[in-house]
Amino acid sequence: MTTYVLRRLMLMLPVAFLVTIGVFMLIHLSPGDPALILLGEDRTPQAIAQIHEQLGLDKPLYVQYFIWLGRIAHGDWGRSVTTHEPVAQAITERLPATLELGIVALVWSLLVAIPLGTIAAVRRGSLTDQVATGITVAGVSIPNFFIGIVLIFVLSVTLRLFPFGGYVPLTTDPWESLRHVLLPAIALGTAGAAINMRFTRSSMIEVLNHDYIRTARAKGASWRRVVFVHALKNALIPVVTIVGLQIGGIIEGAVVTETVFTWPGVGRLAVESIFNRDYTVIQGIVLLAAFSYMVANLLVDLVYGWLDPRISYA
């Protein structure tokens, strides 16, 4: 098991290396002097010279890269151009809001996807199944920001059931926090719900054709028991992959949803930073997004082994 993890990490290294190069090149891809980009409005000649010195811009590009990489590795992710706050700190402050949103969205998507996907599989070909499949395609087609806007209009503006936008930390008031997070979480989680439902359905259909399902029936297990005890655990194994990737992609989805719901998370920070041309913050967020995605991939593989006893890590 340990050797397996190590081997996986070794395989991840070259990819991680390329990813950091990509993030580093972000500044150098954009036209103009990186110092000017990094400084934003504050462009005194002294400041420019200082940045040049700091980044080693007079040195070759690969040297600059290693200087930058060294800093990143030591937790020095630079400072925001606009607020002068350390980037790592700016991101960490915003992270809890994003995580709360992402986790509630994931829970919502699974609450919808697993029962519906299972029902669609058990009654495949039926009207229920056809409607469910239609909804699946619609779920990935409607932009999540538009779902958010419709939810705000119907539930918040018209029916006044939910507050519009804003974030209440879980630690301050759990109930209010939940009330605020619900609409953005539904908006964010709907596409995931559609994808997860599709996976659950096709996986469940395959599992229900296996011989061991007949064995369970021959034991006198009811259909409900066969589906929810014997089939579901097998059927969810592939679903775990996609859910793992969704956990890794929380920041991605949050970018838009947080903008719609004025949710003070990492995603909104990313958008604000783009408009402020705050490249150090953008770099930090892109790097974090890529790495959480890669780590999620690794974790998915490990969880697989726990769910499916046939897989060994020898």
Partner 1 sequence: MSNAPAIVIAEEPIRRAPVAFVELVRTHRRVTVGVLLVALLFLIALLSPVISPHDPLATDPDNSYLRPLSPGHLLGSDELGRDLLSRVLWGARVSLPVAFVAVAVGLVGGGLIGLTSGYAGGLVDLLLMRLMDALLAFPGLILAIAIVAALGPGLRNAMIAIGIVAVPVYARLVRAVVLQLKEMEFVVATRSLGANPARLIVAHFIPNLLNPIIVQVSLSAGFAMLAEATLSFLGLGAQLPTPDWGQMISSGASFLTNDPWLAIVPGAAISITVYSFNLLGDSLRDALDPRLRS
Partner 2 sequence: MTAHLLELEDVQTQIALRRGAIRAVDHVSLTLDPGETLGIVGESGSGKSMTALSIMRLLPRAARITGGRIRFKGRDLADLSEDEMEAIRGTEMAMIFQDPMTSLNPVYRAGWQVGEPLRIHRHVDKRASIAAAVDLFRKVGIPDAKTRVDQFPHQFSGGMRQRTMIAMGLSTGPSLLIADEPTTALDVTIQAQILDLLRALNRDYGTATILITHNLGVVAGMCDRVLVMYAGRVVEQGTTEDVFVHPEHPYTWSLLRSIPRLDATGHEPLRPIEGSPPDMGRLPAGCKFHPRCPFVIDRCREEEPDLREVRSQLARCWVTQAGRSLDSPDGR
In the chain, the amino acid numbered 313 is: Y
Cβ closest to partner 1, residue 29 vs residue 73: 29
In this chain, which of 114, 182, 183, 270 binds partner 1, going by CB under 8 A?
270
In this chain, which of 112, 121, 122, 289 binds partner 1, going by CB under 8 A?
289
Query: Which partner in partner 1, partner 2, none is near 88 (CB below 5 to 8 A by kind)?
Result: none
- Min separation Cβ 221 and partner 1, Å: 25
In this chain, which of 178, 237, 294, 307 binds partner 1, going by CB under 8 A?
294
User: What secondary structure does DSSP assign to the chain, as a single string?
Assistant: -HHHHHHHHHHHHHHHHHHHHHHHHHHHHSSS-HHHHHHTT---HHHHHHHHHHHTTTS-HHHHHHHHHHHHHTT---B-TTT--BHHHHHHHHHHHHHHHHHHHHHHHHHHHHHHHHHHHHTTTSHHHHHHHHHHHHHHHS-HHHHHHHHIIIIIIIS--S--S----TTT-HHHHHHHHHHHHHHHHHHHHHHHHHHHHHHHHHHHTSHHHHHHHHTT--HHHIIIIIIHHHHHHHHHHHHHHHHHTHHHHHHHHHHHTT--SHHHHHHHHHHTT-HHHHHHHHHHHHHHHHHHHHHHHHHHHHH-TT----
Cβ closest to partner 1, residue 67 vs residue 142: 142
Stretch that binds partner 2, among 111-119, 189-197, 226-234, 243-251 (CB under 8 A): 226-234
Q: Judged by CB under 8 A, does residue 8 bind partner 2?
A: no
Stretch that binds partner 2, among 12-20, 40-48, 175-183, 211-219 (CB under 8 A): 211-219
Q: Judged by CB under 8 A, does residue 34 bind partner 1?
A: no
- How far apart are the C-alpha atoms of 273 and 279, rounded to whole Å? 7
Query: Which partner in partner 2, partner 1, none is near 274 (CB below 5 to 8 A by kind)?
Result: partner 1
Binding mask of the shown chain, residues 92 to 131, with x at each position contacting partner 1 by CB under 8 A: ----------x--xx--x----------------------
Q: Judged by CB under 8 A, does residue 230 bind partner 2?
A: yes
- Min separation Cβ 87 and partner 1, Å: 15
Q: Judged by CB under 8 A, does residue 225 bind partner 2?
A: yes
- How far apart are the C-alpha atoms of 77 and 176, rounded to whole Å? 34
Q: Judged by CB under 8 A, does residue 229 bind partner 1?
A: no
Residue 252, token pair as written in the block: 């991605």
- How far apart are the C-alpha atoms of 299 and 290, rounded to whole Å? 14
Query: Which partner in partner 2, partner 1, none is near 182 (CB below 5 to 8 A by kind)?
Result: none
Q: Which residues contact 151 (CB under 8 A, 6 or more apart)?
A: 183, 186, 187
In this chain, which of 72, 120, 152, 183 binds partner 1, going by CB under 8 A?
152
Rg (CA), the chain: 24
In the chain, the amino acid numbered 254 is: A
Cβ closest to partner 1, residue 168 vs residue 267: 267
Size of the site for partner 1 (CB under 8 A): 62
Interface positions with partner 2 (CB under 8 A): 210-212, 214-223, 225, 230, 233-234, 237, 307-310
Give the residues lining the site for partner 1 (CB under 8 A): 14-16, 18-19, 22-23, 26-27, 29-31, 102, 105-106, 109, 137-138, 140-146, 149-150, 152-153, 157, 188-189, 191-192, 195, 198-199, 242, 246, 248-256, 259-260, 270-271, 274-275, 279, 282, 285-286, 289-290, 293-294
